[in-house]
Structure 1
Amino acid sequence: MSSPCSFRELCRKESFTGPTSGILPGYVQANLLIVPRSVASDFEDLCLRNPVACPLLTKTAGSAHVVENHAKFISDSFFDIRRDFPKYNIYLGGKLYQQKSNCMDEWSDDHVGFLIGCSFSFEDALVRAGLVPANVTQGRNVSMFVTTKFLDSAGIFHKCPYVVSMRPYKPSEVDKVRSVTRAFKRTHGEPIDWGFDGAERLGIEDLQKPDYGDPVEMTDDEIPVFWACGVTPQLAITTVGPLIEGFVVGHAPGHMLVLDSTQMF
């Protein structure tokens, strides 16, 4: 694959269905949530009230399946939010119903799609700073954990837990890691906590048993570093699921949309 456009075409043809960490380094990646229009305003408010966990990049326009300010994010005139992610999670009644390589059957004109910033966007900056994430070197999906930290409520979305991604680093590297990722405010920014005491504060009991993604090996001189994660909105859906009628669609954790931009908007 030579460009985001050619990569999205692979996804559209279902030739690529895997995780996107390390894919086309330097380009911005995005998470997805597609909800019925009846709860779209509440979900947008949730994002605006919780910009670190749910940094809203854009949403679909009207009943279209392409995003607002399309050219700002994606130059491909054939872009289709229903097919250009490698893999989708389909929810019904707040429960994971199916995992598919497209959501053509579930999409309707009554849906609104949201693109949300993803921490994969800053992994290349970490690599260039000599801070290669362990999930990249180990060829694994990033580890993601449900925490005991809650989002600020909005509309129907109440008592929704944070999800965090974890990348291990040496304690001496944490300040530099924070500095590198701080600039990426539209894709979660700097870590929200770190260290084994940080894991305890977040309610994470076993770092080798992530709720999403893959376990990542840590060396004895490393500590966990935690970022807010764009899987958080999908957990919000499972939390309030019975209140939402019809299909909700998200990306499969770790399987992102690669945008054409290298900037943080």
Structure 2
Amino acid sequence: MGTAARQAYRRGVDVADLSPAQARERFRRGERAPTSGWCSGWTQANLIAVPERLRDDLRLFARRNPQACPVLDAGEPGAWTTRLFPGDLRTDLPGYRLYRDGAPVADLGDVVSAWRSDLVPFLIGCSFTFERALLAAGVPVRHLELGVNVPMYRTGLPCRPAGALSGPLVVSMRPVPEQLVATAVEVTGRYPMVHGAPVHAGDPAAIGVADLSRPDFGDAVEVREGEVPVFWACGVTPQAAVMASGVEYAIGHLPGHMAILDARDDDYRVD
């Protein structure tokens, strides 16, 4: 993360109080920062836009891997707005990643010129949505404390394939004090449409993560004595499938730089 982005990210007092429309306007004007902690109480989402010929494959991939890929909203081919995202998906996120033939070829501030008429946008649930609930329950969130992006890892766990799409499960990791792991599981389990309860807690090697200090996406954070690394399914999983499957063209959010929706966190809470 660059210095400017890190400084912007640390302005937590004002960014937490922004409305989704205000945040989208700032991103449209060029502000670049991970969005954990932005727009307190408002839902965030992962973006993946694929060619129309893959629309049904992606829908099936999401149905077969619901914890990693909970679809909150989707648009028509060529659309850059949806019901829950009334802004412009091409300009109103703080960062984008462009893929060609499965390879990430550019990280961009906007994708106006890259957005094709056959692209179908999907908005996938994001674990940032339950972080406020974790904090309210007394569970610390290390990347928020440090003002960095959440660490994300490709695992050795394969997703169920669908049509032309296959790939590994991606997880986000938050260190949790051992005595609060059960609380973290209970709290996040109330949010099944934004990844829900963790998929694993404890030894990273058990899910094929070799080195916590080297995340595949985002920034590394320290796991301190008395803490357990806890892993949640992550909405970057569709981007991992794009890469693993060699998809000829796709646009995603820059991991950690989310779409902020006109929906409330509590809309996705179940009791």
Question: How many aligned positions are there?
Answer: 251
1:250 aligns with one of 235, 249, 252 = 252
Q: Does 1:165 align with 2:172?
A: yes
Q: Does 1:264 align with 2:271?
A: no
> Cα distance, 1:228 vs. partner?
0.3
Matches within 5 A, 1:100-249: 100-158=108-166, 160-196=167-203, 199-241=204-246, 244-245=247-248, 247-249=249-251
Read off the aligned partner of 1:223 and give its amino acid letter: V
Q: What does the per-residue CA deviation read over 1:139-158, in whole Å, with 9 as the maximum and x for residues that have no partner?
A: 11111111000111100113
- Aligned residue for 2:263, secondary structure, equals coil
- Aligned residue for 1:175, secondary structure, equals helix
- After superposition, the CA RMSD in angstroms is 1.3
Gaps of 5+ in 2: 1-14
TM-score by length of 1: 0.92
> Cα distance, 1:62 vs. partner?
4.4
Task: Write out the 4+ residue segments of structure 1 that deviate beyond 4 Å after TM superposition.
Answer: none
TM-score by length of 2: 0.90
2: distance between equivalents of 1:55 and 1:130?
A: 26
2: distance between equivalents of 1:143 and 1:119?
A: 12
1: distance between equivalents of 2:173 and 2:78?
A: 36
2: distance between equivalents of 1:93 and 1:227?
A: 28
Read off the aligned partner of 2:199 and give its amino acid letter: I
Q: Which residue of 1 aligns with 2:10?
A: none
Read off the aligned partner of 2:80 and give its amino acid letter: H
1: distance between equivalents of 2:105 and 2:132?
A: 34
Q: Does 1:96 align with 2:81?
A: no
1: distance between equivalents of 2:219 and 2:29?
A: 26
Q: What does the per-residue CA deviation read over 1:225-254, in whole Å, with 9 as the maximum and x for residues that have no partner?
A: 00000111101001111xx33x31000010
Higher-RCO chain (CA-CA 8 Å, sequence separation at least 6): 1
CA contact (8 A) 1:58 1:116 kept: yes
